[in-house]
């Protein structure tokens, strides 16, 4: 702690300055996302009512705190602390919210800029606004006034807790400021606030991307959990778009809609059909190539795939054999897999239907397989199934109409395109219900 004696600043011998190291990811975040993260975690860190003097300037750094009190005895001091602030820090001045006197101006700004400091946040007022803006130094305050604080207030303590309204600030806390205002992140909780803020930022970027690709705002907000972003303990998917989140989004779209609306969709041969009672699959592909008449690689895949994955299997045998049956089905269910698509044959169909595990195959065959290592088998290999190329990570959607596999990196485009197709189909159905002719709705010639 630094104390003040009379009107002079006194620093205890040997006391080191604050180290202003900051994770670079904070500099990519706006105060709005951080504010939502603070709300989500139940932390009061918003410095309400404190605004930027120059909205185009941002500030990120660790707090060097100074508290002021009224002075009526001619011993007021305002800026003697400035030479002891470590470069990269943000000066946080608590003048009790007073807006009738200033505790910051041009001279302090020039010193701060030369050190250089990251910015200044004032629970009170400052002056010399035009010059500060011209110098390009970030200052955030409640107000501005020309009236000096000299001999009206004095600094009594630094690097002890101070207040920015409802937000408390401890020396070393992380402070961020931008056009929207100022937030304070307690140093002890930086990691969890950063994780939450990055996730929220990603969710909002997802919404922007979906809207930009034509999705309606209401739907974009729904699929991104927009209304839950800042709620404490809410379970939301705020991760960037990936295969698993896309699987949830595609639940409402048929294979026919996806195949017709999405460029780059891979349609598997129609000879691979649903053979189980459950005929809907959505999940990430995990590719498997069998070696000859052996199903050893399928056994390995069951225990290396992640829950929710769909095994896409290509058999290399010249003659049919039942590569999949009851035991593998029960193992897959226990592992949480979403289904099986096999360019080959299965057996134990009666049991599979009762187990409710989705299976698509060419047909059934009672012949068993071997468990030999063989050659040519493997996991996560590129498959070519009658010209349809399939890789691990692709998105599998299957129903009674067939099987489509989507590129893993086209999530937003797939959702938007399928959504548009579904809206178009709804418009046609509404027109038919209203008595219109389909040929007219499609603007087709009737041959006359």
Question: pLDDT tens for residues 32-74?
Answer: 999 999 998 999 999 999 999 999 999 999 999 999 998 876 6
Beta-carbon contacts of 428 under 8 Å, excluding residues fewer than 6 positions away, are 438, 441, 442
Q: Is 227 inside a domain boundary?
A: yes
Same domain, 116 and 255: no
Residue 28 region by backbone torsions, left for phi larger than 0, else alpha for psi between -120 and 50, else beta? alpha
Q: What angle do CA 5, 10, 14 make, to 5 degrees?
A: 150
**Mean of pLDDT over the chain:** 82
- The string of pLDDT tens digits covering residues 264-319 is 678 999 999 999 877 888 888 999 999 889 999 999 999 888 888 899 999 975 66
193, 225, 259 - which closes a domain: 193
Q: Which two tokens stand for residue 30?
A: 């706006």
Q: Is 422 inside a domain boundary?
A: no
Q: What is the CATH number of the domain that holds 28?
A: 3.50.30.40
Q: Is 447 inside a domain boundary?
A: no
Q: Which two tokens stand for residue 224?
A: 């991104």
Kindly give the residue spans of alpha helices, DSSP state H, lying in 95-189.
Answer: 106-114, 129-135
CB 284 within 8 A of CB 308: yes
Domain that holds residue 178: 2-10+22-193
As a whole number of angstroms, the distance between CA 196 and CA 193 comes to 5
Same domain, 6 and 48: yes
Alpha carbon of residue 262 to chain centroid:
24
Same domain, 306 and 215: no
Q: Is 15 inside a domain boundary?
A: no
Sign of the four-CA dihedral 357, 358, 359, 364: positive
Same domain, 222 and 94: no
Closest CA to 170 of 65, 313, 23: 65
Same domain, 180 and 117: yes
Q: Is 419 inside a domain boundary?
A: no
CB 26 within 8 A of CB 195: no
Same domain, 42 and 184: yes
Same domain, 207 and 289: no
Name the 3-class secondary structure at 61. Answer: strand
pLDDT score at 212: 63
Q: What percent of the chain has a predicted confidence (pLDDT) above 70?
A: 80
Same domain, 176 and 42: yes
Q: What angle do CA 325, 303, 297 make, to 5 degrees?
A: 60
Characterize the bridge pairing of strands 59-70 and 402-406: unpaired
As a whole number of angstroms, the distance between CA 280 and CA 149 comes to 72
- The string of pLDDT tens digits covering residues 197-228 is 888 887 777 777 667 656 677 776 776 666 66
Q: Is 217 inside a domain boundary?
A: yes
Alpha carbon of residue 258 to chain centroid:
25
Task: Say yes or no to pLDDT of 238 above 70.
Answer: no
Same domain, 363 and 270: yes
Same domain, 273 and 317: yes
As a whole number of angstroms, the distance between CA 143 and CA 148 comes to 13
Same domain, 286 and 366: yes
The DSSP call for residue 375 is: S
Work out how many domains the chain is built from and give that number: 3
Q: Which two tokens stand for residue 60?
A: 């990120």
Task: Say yes or no to pLDDT of 232 above 80.
Answer: no
Same domain, 298 and 390: yes
As a dihedral over the C-alpha atoms of residue 73, residue 79, residue 83, residue 85, rounded to 10 degrees, the angle is 110
Q: Is 68 inside a domain boundary?
A: yes
Report the run of H or E that residue 434 belongs to, with start and end. Answer: none
Q: Is 263 inside a domain boundary?
A: yes
Q: Which two tokens stand for residue 93?
A: 């001045």
């Amino acid at each position: 702690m630094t104390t003040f004696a009379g009107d002079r600043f006194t620093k205890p011998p040997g006391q080191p300055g604050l180290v202003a190291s900051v994770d670079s990811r904070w500099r990519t975040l706006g105060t709005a996302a951080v504010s939502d993260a603070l709300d989500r975690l139940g932390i009061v860190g918003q410095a309400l009512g404190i605004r930027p003097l120059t909205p185009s300037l941002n500030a990120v750094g660790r707090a060097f705190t100074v508290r002021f009190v009224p002075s009526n005895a001619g011993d007021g001091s305002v800026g003697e602390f400035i030479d002891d602030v470590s470069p990269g820090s943000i000066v946080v001045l608590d003048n009790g919210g007073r807006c009738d006197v200033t505790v910051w101006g041009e001279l302090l700004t020039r010193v701060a800029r030369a050190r250089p400091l990251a910015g200044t946040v004032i629970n009170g007022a400052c002056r010399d606004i035009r010059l500060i803006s011209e110098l390009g130094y970030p200052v955030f305050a409640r107000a501005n006034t020309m009236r000096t604080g000299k001999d009206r207030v004095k600094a009594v303590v630094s690097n002890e807790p101070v207040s920015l309204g409802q937000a408390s600030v401890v020396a070393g806390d992380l402070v961020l400021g931008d056009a929207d205002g100022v937030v304070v992140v307690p140093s002890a909780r930086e990691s969890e606030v950063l994780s939450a803020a990055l996730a929220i930022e990603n969710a909002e970027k997802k919404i922007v991307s979906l809207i930009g690709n034509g999705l309606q705002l209401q739907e974009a907000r729904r699929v991104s959990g927009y209304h839950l972003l800042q709620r404490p303990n809410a379970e939301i998917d705020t991760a960037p778009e990936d295969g698993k989140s896309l699987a949830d989004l595609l639940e409402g779209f048929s294979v026919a809609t996806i195949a017709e609306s999405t460029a780059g969709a891979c349609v598997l041969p129609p000879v691979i059909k649903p053979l189980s009672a459950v005929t809907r699959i959505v999940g990430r592909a995990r590719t498997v190539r069998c070696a000859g008449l052996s199903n050893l690689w399928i056994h390995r895949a069951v225990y290396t795939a992640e829950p929710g994955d769909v095994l896409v299997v290509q058999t290399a045998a010249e003659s049919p054999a039942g590569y999949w049956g009851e035991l593998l089905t029960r193992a897959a269910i226990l592992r949480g897999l979403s289904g099986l698509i096999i360019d080959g044959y299965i057996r134990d169909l009666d049991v599979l239907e009762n187990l409710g595990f989705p299976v698509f195959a060419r047909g059934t065959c009672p012949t068993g397989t071997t468990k030999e290592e063989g050659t040519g088998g493997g996991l996560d290999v590129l498959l070519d199934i009658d010209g349809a190329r399939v890789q691990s990570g692709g998105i599998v959607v299957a129903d009674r109409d067939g099987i489509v596999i989507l590129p893993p990196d086209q999530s937003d485009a797939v959702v938007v395109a399928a959504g548009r197709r579904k809206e178009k189909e709804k418009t046609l159905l509404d027109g038919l219900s209203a008595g219109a002719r389909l040929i007219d709705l499609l603007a087709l010639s009737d041959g006359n």
